[in-house]
Structure 1
Amino acid sequence: RDFNVLLINNGVNAHILYVSDVQALTGYRYCDICKLQAFKTSNPNINRDMKRYMEKCKKNNGKIVKKVILEKFARPFVPHILNNITYRYLFVNDRESEFKPTEYYITYDIETFEKYIQQNYGENSTVISYLIPYCIASTVKNKSGIHSFCYDIRQADFLDQWLDQVFEEAKQIKKDNKYDDESIPQHFEVPVIGFNSAKFDVSLVFKNLKSKNWRIVKHVGSGTVAKQIIVRHKDTHIQLRFVDALIYCTKMTLKKFVRDIGGGTMTKGRFPYEYININNYATELDKSEPFPRDAFDNKLKNKSISEAKYQDYLVEAAKFTTRWDQARSYNIQDTRIMIEPIHNLIKMMLKYKIDMLAMFSMSQCANAIKYSSAYDDFKMNGDYNIEDTDKPINITMPYWTAKVDSYIEQDQKKNRDSSKNVTIDDYEYFKELFEKQRCYICNCKFTWKNRPTLDRINNELGHSKDNVLPCYLYCNKKDITGGLSNVLHRYNVAGETRINHLEYMDKKVNCRQPTCSISGL
């Protein structure tokens, strides 16, 4: 039989719990037929709503039947505009030139060593080791420049200390990413970017992302792969957005990421990460001499470091007092070398008016680029309407009287002052206005199909003569720009759109419509 379970995963341990009462746990009742549709138990009409739904569900044999309800007018698909509240605002206000990307952020990287446990789980499963973080570093890019910081296992609660400083640094980054004009809407999450962190780094700090000072407000992904985590500070309300740099490019190593996208101006350092483990780190990292050559042997790939590369390492190692200094420096370097490739990706996306760090994935960026290119020469205030051949409207006194009464009723219902509203005496003025002017939103002429109405400029005031603009009824209701709908989208209207049926006869293409003929083939 079917039963319900609850999976709890804190990044280290996972537990599966049997759920005996789903309704008590979730606060929802589920449809007994499809088991998918949920109803809030706090809804006073839950019995009525469930009964109606289950009657439909029974007819569909428990399958959810989706209905497509088309808009009266086709809306454009413009993800680069509609998915970014900042660009959307600047675009509709003819201020595109002010658009800027999220260009300040924090990178991070965690170094780990293995703890061997060799534990058996059942007959066929054995856990050989697990990873323990011993060093974490970050590089901050803000308006004043680039700087880095690092914490390691020798410091108490070093991961929490690192998070404390990240939140502190995020205050300045949030300010630097803001527009000077505070009326411009934007998202204020501060990006914290790792490399291949979705699988590794985030899982290592996951339990530290929940504390008395901050909490996770959004988690996208699974228990093992976190595509995005947003953490909010409880006092400052600063929000950190943990993402993986690999969501913006194809899968590659950090070395290739720096070389191919960053231009190769910086390189990854050499450090014998495999040589350090839980048993020897305390003694080995306290030493002052360089690591021996065999410490760089890669047992997994069965490779050894060349003599030339080892000599290069010795030159670098001479700059440090202890091996701890080397470890911290190379950890910082791994975060520093991410800056150039990320910066180049941001610049590349900006050419298409796309804020990369506001996007969720490489595919989302690619999709936005495609439609951004299609709308490259689109102008917000351009006239893209096809001239309507419908009969122009000539409003009558009864029509105007009904509109006046309707406006008074609307304003009184909303407790707006209607004493200065338009009156029947304004008939001649608005009759001429509707004949000569167009809808101020979509720029369409008023016809008996596109009937006119009055849209208030200040929604706090009533329908007074100085507070209204002529508006097409549909635009007034939907609050959309009708002019956009004809830019890329073509549609057929039943009974109105002429469709030509072609046939090939006697080396000639004929059209069944009497006025259409193509010859000369």
Structure 2
Amino acid sequence: TPTAVASTIKAKNYIKTITYDNSQEDFVEKWLDQVFSEALQIRSDNKFTDEVPQRYEVPIIGFDCLKSATTLIFMNLKSNKYEIIDRPGPRSCPIHIIVKSTENSIHLKFIDAKNYVSADMELDDFLRDIGKVEPCESLIKESWLLLSAIDNRIKDYTDYHIDLLQNASLAKLSCLKKYAYCYKNFNISSCYNPEDKANPFDLSMRYWKSKVNSYNEQDKRKKRRIDHNITYDDYQHFHDVFLTQRCHMCQARFTYNNKPTLDRIVNEKSHTKINVLPCCPYCNNLPMTISNQEVYDSLRNDMRNIKISDCAIRKPYLRIASQLNQKRRDVNAQHHYKWLTLQQIIQNMDYIHVTDDDTDSLCLAIAH
């Protein structure tokens, strides 16, 4: 049974500590009442100035706290004003706990600071190594010291544009930090394709006829006009294009290992001569436009502290660093973008750079 609880609250314009103990009746509920009351101010401080959708989860961070938080909430909560709406992970060690108030839209998200350090680290070591402070016996003062240590841990990732509180996994944070190093000197205008030493692709009439027929069939199925489509007579023009030009997206050469295709500039129009550009099959298979409103809304709802225009989200520009593995090539447009959202690494949809067959983490990183 808990005997006391103390919390230090850091708002935009103040820091204060609250404490309750078993000398007060229903002290857990009184503590939770005040925490929810303070959370209203935290939400106001963190509210976006524009109309980007926002979740109202206010983080409550402790050290090795989720077992005690579970005890506090499950065993001692008698009020109907609060309910637990999310508790992922094993019963003995949840990843986080989200408590909702039935009186407003505030959600409290209980997070364990041990998610961000090695599993065997104790509180005293956390305060000394991360907080650069000495532990003490006072519950109230220890709450202040813990806040200092958590602030330091947040600052450790700020320089890499990583939101610590949205990534409750040390492995995931390490992965994101790795990509931050990778893209520190990344140049979107450079070509990072390994040079293909295979023979240049020499377009044959037989291959060209099969492509023309295939594109006509595609347009017919989509009920697009084909009277101005490319024809057999355009063979010599595209023969020269494929020999002298590269993929318009990734700048890869066209070889017998990387045969050319034609990518439509405006997806609503047919495969006309003025509406196509040479493109390698890997780039051409990637979704270039989010046409499904549900997928688009899902992306928007998961944006955090990002100011992105609708145009930037609907028409992202993809530059491919190397050939994608088959698993990525087989992903369709909806699943591809939902997967990006779940990874929560979208910082700017203007430029997305696909990394080289990183099958251990399967992350996409963002290049500026």
TM range (shorter): 0.5 to 0.7
1:422 aligns with 2:229: yes
In 1, are the aligned partners of 2:98 and 2:110 still within 8 Å (CA)?
Answer: yes
Shift of the 418–212 alpha-carbon distance from structure 1 to 2, 3 Å rule, reads farther
Name the SS for the 1:191 alignment partner. Answer: strand
1:452 aligns with 2:233: no
1:171 aligns with 2:43: yes
* Alignment partners' CA distance in 2, 1:209 and 1:466: 70
* Alignment partners' CA distance in 2, 1:396 and 1:257: 67
Q: 2:113 aligns with which of 237, 241, 245?
A: 245
1:476 aligns with 2:284: yes
* Alignment partners' CA distance in 1, 2:55 and 2:208: 45
Measured against aligned partners, the alpha-carbon deviations of 1:263-320 in whole angstroms (never above 9, x if no partner) come to 33x874636xxxxxxxxxxxxxxxxxxxxxxxxxxxxxxxxxxxxxxxxxxxxxxxxx
* Alignment partners' CA distance in 2, 1:173 and 1:420: 59
Measured against aligned partners, the alpha-carbon deviations of 1:320-349 in whole angstroms (never above 9, x if no partner) come to xxxxxxxxxx2xx44333232222222223
1:343 aligns with 2:151: yes
In 1, are the aligned partners of 2:82 and 2:99 still within 8 Å (CA)?
Answer: no
Name the SS for the 1:226 alignment partner. Answer: coil
- 1:133 shift after superposition: 5.1
1:274-285 equivalences in 2 (<5 Å): none
- 1:398 shift after superposition: 4.4
Aligned position for 2:247: 439
Measured against aligned partners, the alpha-carbon deviations of 1:39-67 in whole angstroms (never above 9, x if no partner) come to xxxxxxxxxxxxxxxxxxxxxxxxxxxxx
- 1:139 shift after superposition: 1.0
In 2, are the aligned partners of 1:151 and 1:162 still within 8 Å (CA)?
Answer: no
What one-letter code is carried by the residue in structure 1 that aligns with 2:63? F
In 1, are the aligned partners of 2:220 and 2:226 still within 8 Å (CA)?
Answer: no
What one-letter code is carried by the residue in structure 2 that aligns with 1:451? K
Aligned position for 1:217: 86
Name the SS for the 1:192 alignment partner. Answer: strand
Aligned position for 1:262: 131
In 2, are the aligned partners of 1:167 and 1:233 still within 8 Å (CA)?
Answer: no
In 2, are the aligned partners of 1:209 and 1:216 still within 8 Å (CA)?
Answer: no
Aligned position for 1:404: 212
Which of the two has higher C-alpha Rg? 1
In 1, are the aligned partners of 2:57 and 2:108 still within 8 Å (CA)?
Answer: yes
In 2, are the aligned partners of 1:140 and 1:169 still within 8 Å (CA)?
Answer: no
In 1, are the aligned partners of 2:263 and 2:284 still within 8 Å (CA)?
Answer: yes
Unaligned runs of at least 5 residues, structure 1: 1-130, 272-329, 491-521
Shift of the 423–270 alpha-carbon distance from structure 1 to 2, 3 Å rule, reads closer
* Alignment partners' CA distance in 1, 2:33 and 2:153: 30
* Alignment partners' CA distance in 2, 1:201 and 1:225: 11
* Alignment partners' CA distance in 1, 2:168 and 2:93: 14
Name the SS for the 2:88 alignment partner. Answer: strand
Report how many aligned residue pairs link the two structures. 292
Measured against aligned partners, the alpha-carbon deviations of 1:114-161 in whole angstroms (never above 9, x if no partner) come to xxxxxxxxxxxxxxxxx135545341344x454555566446842552
* Alignment partners' CA distance in 2, 1:146 and 1:435: 66
* Alignment partners' CA distance in 2, 1:396 and 1:210: 77
- 1:255 shift after superposition: 4.7
In 1, are the aligned partners of 2:96 and 2:109 still within 8 Å (CA)?
Answer: yes
In 1, are the aligned partners of 2:84 and 2:97 still within 8 Å (CA)?
Answer: no
Aligned position for 2:200: 392
Unaligned runs of at least 5 residues, structure 2: 288-317, 325-354, 359-368
Aligned position for 1:204: 72
Aligned position for 2:348: none
* Alignment partners' CA distance in 2, 1:268 and 1:246: 19
> Aligned-pair RMSD on alpha carbons?
4.2
Aligned position for 1:229: 97
Structure (1/2) with the larger strand percentage: 1
- 1:359 shift after superposition: 2.7
1:383 aligns with 2:200: no
Shift of the 257–484 alpha-carbon distance from structure 1 to 2, 3 Å rule, reads same
- 1:363 shift after superposition: 4.2
In 2, are the aligned partners of 1:137 and 1:151 still within 8 Å (CA)?
Answer: no
- 1:197 shift after superposition: 0.2
Name the SS for the 2:47 alignment partner. Answer: helix
Q: 1:161 aligns with which of 24, 29, 33?
A: 33
Shift of the 403–254 alpha-carbon distance from structure 1 to 2, 3 Å rule, reads same
* Alignment partners' CA distance in 2, 1:488 and 1:370: 13
* Alignment partners' CA distance in 1, 2:185 and 2:222: 42
In 2, are the aligned partners of 1:137 and 1:150 still within 8 Å (CA)?
Answer: yes
1:139 aligns with 2:9: yes
In 2, are the aligned partners of 1:219 and 1:230 still within 8 Å (CA)?
Answer: no
In 1, are the aligned partners of 2:282 and 2:323 still within 8 Å (CA)?
Answer: no
1:117-132 equivalences in 2 (<5 Å): 131-132=1-2
* Alignment partners' CA distance in 2, 1:465 and 1:193: 59
* Alignment partners' CA distance in 1, 2:151 and 2:124: 16
Q: Percent sequence identity over matched residues?
A: 32
Shift of the 217–337 alpha-carbon distance from structure 1 to 2, 3 Å rule, reads same
- 1:193 shift after superposition: 0.8
Name the SS for the 2:191 alignment partner. Answer: coil
Structure (1/2) with the larger helix percentage: 2
**TM-score, normalization by structure 2:** 0.61
* Alignment partners' CA distance in 2, 1:404 and 1:373: 44
Shift of the 477–259 alpha-carbon distance from structure 1 to 2, 3 Å rule, reads same
Shift of the 236–447 alpha-carbon distance from structure 1 to 2, 3 Å rule, reads farther
What one-letter code is carried by the residue in structure 1 that aligns with 2:7? A
Measured against aligned partners, the alpha-carbon deviations of 1:191-250 in whole angstroms (never above 9, x if no partner) come to 32112202223332246599676542341232x322323456678766543211122124
Aligned position for 1:195: 63
* Alignment partners' CA distance in 2, 1:140 and 1:234: 24
* Alignment partners' CA distance in 2, 1:466 and 1:234: 58
Shift of the 405–241 alpha-carbon distance from structure 1 to 2, 3 Å rule, reads farther
- Is the deviation greater in 386-395 or in 446-455? 386-395
Measured against aligned partners, the alpha-carbon deviations of 1:424-483 in whole angstroms (never above 9, x if no partner) come to 155454333322221133321112321111223444544445544321112222567542
